[in-house]
Amino acid sequence: MQAPRQLYWEDIEAGHEIPQIVLSITYEKAVMVPMATWDLFPGHSNPHYAQAQGQKTIYLNTTVLQGFADRVLTDWTGHMTFIARRKLVMMNSVYAGDRLIGRGRVERVHRTGSGAGAIDVAITLSTDAWVACEVSTTAILPMRQA
Amino acid sequence: MPNASDELAASRPAQGSYEDGRKLLGVRSPVNFGPLPVDASRIAAFCAMIEDGNPSYWDAQSSAKQWGRPIAPPGMIQVWTMPLPWTPTGAAELDFMLLKLPLPGSSLINVSTEIVYHRPVYVGETLNFWDEATEISEQKETRLGVGHFVTTVAHFQNESGEPVATVTNIQFRFEPKAVP
């Protein structure tokens, strides 16, 4: 089995683009949201409720978007990445039937107060219709010179 | 079959005036205990949903080597304290300020969530949280309707009281505009 890819803190510079990833939000995926998260708020599972809220149909919850935003980063940096902080700002909904697209850019490479190697990343989650979320994440990466 | 208005009523947050809501600023909710420990099957369902192949979530041995113990995706932090809609001892419900804050508006939607993680979430631990409302905006109008932006801060810890994460959430409590 091939060793998983891993970037180290020293490998990364401000301005690095994080490769785009895409997820099709099929109705099967939408059904898995309450299954995996136990979030039974009806806007995520009942189209009639979602429409009464002014939405097109059922939409993804914040937990799923958090997970996908983290995946945008860790697919690139590798599994030895610790998400230390993430701020996710909702701008528009992601509906069942949409394509969810994630991409990002490294904003800053720095050390934390304890000397750990950190990066600040800006991630955008969008659909074919609009930007769904703007995400800012701080992650701790392993260092070659630990 | 339940219709949208039934579910709208069932998920309706506490109703009251802006002044009623402001009286509860800074008041701590009860502690909400996760019903079950963090477990691999729900991690697998979550990762399958978002197609996340991170070995830290799929390979317990690899995860333990890297993190000391197998871990859960950090994005799942709120998942571990969600109640089930039925148990043999009755339906459990979350008792937190976000829903019990009396305000105008029958609906709510998340606006932003900022989470600071103090450490990874480990498989096998059981989390709990309490929250408090720290800010309520004056009335605002958005494309969804008229309402208030509510900021709450939730503190997540494990059964031993070790801090795991701090979640600052902003939600919009609003009355939906009539659908034409």
ipTM: 0.96
Q: How many CB pairs under 8 A join A and B?
A: 130
Q: Which CATH class is domain B16-176?
A: alpha beta
According to DSSP, the β-strands at A99-111 and B121-122 are unpaired
Q: List CB contacts (< 8 A) between B179 and chain A.
A: 51-52, 54
Strands (E), chain B: 32-33, 71-72, 107-117, 121-122, 127-136, 140-141, 145-158, 163-176
**Domain for residue A49, yes or no?**
no
CATH of the domain at A133: 3.10.129.10
Residue A48 lies in a domain: no
| Best A7, A27, A28, A37 residue to mutate vs chain B (most B CBs within 10 Å) | A37
Give the model's pLDDT for residue A62: 94
pTM: 0.93
Name which of A73, A83, A80, A85 is nearest A123 in CA terms. Answer: A73
Is pLDDT at A73 greater than 50 in this prediction? yes
What is the sign, positive or negative, of the torsion defined by CA atoms of B4, B8, B10, B11? positive
Kindly list the domain boundaries of chain B, sorted by start residue. Answer: 16-176
Residue of A nearest to B110 (CA): A90
In a domain, A35, yes or no: no
State the pLDDT at residue A146: 67
Q: Per residue in B126-164, pLDDT tens?
A: 999 999 999 999 999 998 899 999 999 999 999 999 999
Lowest mean pLDDT among A60-64, B53-57, B88-92, B151-155: B88-92
Q: Could you give the CA distance from residue B83 to residue B99 in angstroms, rounded to a whole number? A: 14
Taking Cα atoms as reference points, which of B116, B124, B128, B120 lies closest to residue B158? B128
Range of the domain at A125: 9-25+62-141
Cβ distance of A88 and B112 shorter than 8 Å:
yes
- Using CA coordinates, name the residue in chain A closest to B44: A36
In a domain, A32, yes or no: no
Chain A hits for B116, CB-CB cut-off 8 Å, are 84-85
A44, part of any domain: no
